[in-house]
A and B are shown apart, each in its own frame.
Chain A
Amino acid sequence: MLVEDNAELVDDVTAFFREEGYVMETAFTLQEAREKVGVYSYDLVILDLGLPDGDGLELLEDMQRDQPQVAVLILTARDALDVKVQGLEQGADDYITKPFHKAELNARVHSILRRKVAGGRQKLTFNEIALDLNEKKVTVYDQELSLTRKEYDLLLFLIYNKDRLLTKESIAEHLWGDHIDQADNFDFIYNHIKNLRRKIGQAGGHNYIRSMYGMGYKFVTE
């Protein structure tokens, strides 16, 4: 379920996740969210903190008491460290600050659900590529690739968001976090993409990674 008061954003995110094959419910207010949480059972609640009728942290508190099994991802425009820390301390599984890349949100949702709901599904396979999410190892045609941590994260991010454009910005933010605004440009991402392509190619894998208009990359499945 997505709890967010901006209709446009709700539409966007809902459409995105429905496309991904999730069942999405929405709530625009804290009150509505409370009612829905009380009636239905969700795997994950994406919770905006600044709601018109109250602070999302209140709902988080209630849910921690009544339904601690539900994963919570906090969505906030507040950049303050203490809000993040407070949310995580109160049992949220992760947070993401606005404005966010949907790809990033998607990757986080994937990883939370994998950890919390799928009981730790350990493997992710796509055609000849297989990722061991626990060991953080990648095999192509059962041949293990020696990837750096960044290359592994990049590949996982691409596969989580397959067939979507990942802008350089979103990739950079995913891999380097807050440090990314230290960069003049994101050309160094190209090096990682190049290495990743080369390593997959050497193991006989297909080149799935496409460059898109110089803006980013896409993991193309067809």
Chain B
Amino acid sequence: MKMRKRKFSLLTKVLFYYLLFTLVSFVISAIILQREANEHMHNILEKRFAHREHRIEHILEHEKNLDKFRHSSYANIKRVASVPPRFEPTYTDTVMVNEYTQRENVYRKKTTYMTVDGRHYKVVMTKEADELYRFKDDVYHIVLPVFLLLAMALLVANYVFSGYLLEPFRRILKQMASYKIGRAASLKHIKTSTQEFDRLKQLYERMQQRIESDYFQLKEYTENMSHELQTPLSIIQNKTEALISHNNLTSEQATQIKAIYEETQQLSRLGRALNLLTQIENQEFQNIQTVTTAPVIEDHLQKIHEMVEMKELTVEKELDPEHALTIDPGLLDILLRNLFKNALRYATRGSTIRIETGRGRMVFSNPGAQPNFESEQIFDRFSRGRGQKTLGLGLAIAKKICQVSGLDISYAYEEGRHVFRIEEKGPDSDL
């Protein structure tokens, strides 16, 4: 079993990727902003520390008295023996309580060494950095809500605009879904200012034209072929008949002529069957009426009783006198003929053909060998039973008739019987 992937609308997808992209760019810009803020803050503080260092240096040069700095928040200076080699100033941020406001603030502490007149000092300076920290936090405080707001706005826009923007697209799709071959429809009435949809419209129209023209050419070809074949076939048939009429044929000659004759007949039947299929496809049978099936079936049974007897078959019928179909009577005739033909051909000698009508369905069944193909293939053109010399078009014709007449034909092999069911289609089973 293959998992079916969920499908999303184009706009939702676009929105999703857009939001993802926006989120990433927001995060990146937040990071950059924060760095900038850090550096800026550092620079400001560094300037102030430098100023202080300058003053401390000045004082140390002149006063040499470190008491002045004792207990001062200004700087803490200690005389040391030496400066650690390759020392770089260190910075630490700590939270301390402000002496005057009694509020917790963030302070930056700078530790460095100084050398004044050959004496070494370790200097620790602290400076309030609260304001600067607040600025840094503000970056996040601004970026996040803006992103959320944008996302919300996009969601709403998606909801509102998807209807409006995709309307022409939906209409084009609808038109495509309802397309029937031989009935090209223009998309002119679908107005769109969207480039892609306009292109789609044009392409679809062009494709439709191409399909139509191919279809009509093929149709014309089939029609002409089957039609034009008939006259030469008439001649061949007549000539062979004339040949056979000679009394002085050897039996070998007779057999050969007979073979030519039979093949000609087969060809002619093929031409007619193909022609019939095309005609049904073209809906040339439009004399649609309500036909009660029972008398028609009885009539058919009457006409084929010799063939039934030949195969020692019995016909079991259960005909509902009320059962009727809405169909062209000519087509019903052809349909029944083909179903009977099939039943006669494939029924085992001496078995029973069953016909049932009623409750909106018509069922033909006959016993026979298990088919050697998928049950749906039975309606394909040129699919025929094992070793049968037939056209293999009968059931294709039957199916086509059902299609144009709003009927459903199905085949099943049940309990050793070939069963064909013909039912009226429900009103909503068109798709």
Contacts and interface: CB of A to CB of B under 8 A. Distances in A.
Interface residues of B, number: 48
B344 A184 contact: yes
A178 interface: yes
A170 B234 CA distance: 13
B261 interface: yes
B332 to A, nearest CB: 12
Contacts of B303: 176-177, 179
Interface string A204-222: 0000000011111010000
Interface string B203-234: 00000000000000000000000011011111
Interface of A: 6, 8-9, 12-13, 16, 50, 77-82, 97-103, 150, 164-165, 167, 169-170, 176-179, 181-185, 187-188, 191, 212-216, 218
Given A99-B237, A100-B234, A50 B309 contact: no
24 contacts: A9-B231, A9-B234, A9-B235, A50-B227, A81-B330, A82-B284, A97-B230, A99-B230, A99-B233, A99-B236, A100-B234, A167-B244, A176-B304, A176-B306, A179-B304, A183-B344, A184-B311, A184-B345, A188-B306, A213-B249, A213-B251, A213-B254, A214-B258, A216-B244
Interface string B260-279: 01001100110010011001
Contacts of B268: 99
A138 B275 CA distance: 40
Interface string B274-292: 0110010000110000000
Contacts of B306: 150, 176, 188, 191
Contacts of A191: 306
Contacts of B249: 213
B324 to A, nearest CB: 20
A167 B345 CA distance: 22
Contacts of B258: 213-215
Given A8-B235, A98-B234, A164-B245, A181 B269 contact: yes
B235 A6 contact: yes
A79 B235 contact: no
Contact of A167 (B228, B239, B241): B241
Contacts of B241: 101-103, 165, 167, 170
Given A9-B231, A77-B227, A182-B340, A165 B245 contact: yes
Contacts of A78: 227
A-B pairs, top 6 by smallest CB distance, nearest first, are A99-B234, A213-B254, A77-B230, A98-B230, A182-B341, A99-B233
Given A79-B272, A98-B233, A188 B310 contact: yes
B120 interface: no
Contacts of B254: 213-215
A221 B304 CA distance: 32
B231 A6 contact: yes
A213 B247 CA distance: 9
Contacts of B257: 215
A182 B244 contact: no
A164 B258 CA distance: 16
Nearest to B328: A81
A213 B310 CA distance: 22
Nearest to A169: B265
Q: Which of B233, B241, B304, B309 has the most CB of A within 10 A?
A: B241
A89 to B, nearest CB: 13
Contact of B337 (A167, A170, A182, A213): A182
A214 B91 CA distance: 119
B381 interface: no
Contacts of A9: 231, 234-235, 238
A215 B333 CA distance: 29
A102 B238 contact: yes
A167 B341 contact: no
Q: Which of B236, B245, B258, B269 has the most CB of A within 10 A?
A: B245
Contacts of A99: 230-231, 233-234, 236-237, 264, 268
A4 to B, nearest CB: 8
B119 interface: no
Given A165-B241, A215-B257, 10 more contacts: A6-B232, A50-B227, A77-B227, A99-B264, A103-B241, A169-B265, A176-B304, A179-B337, A213-B254, A216-B244
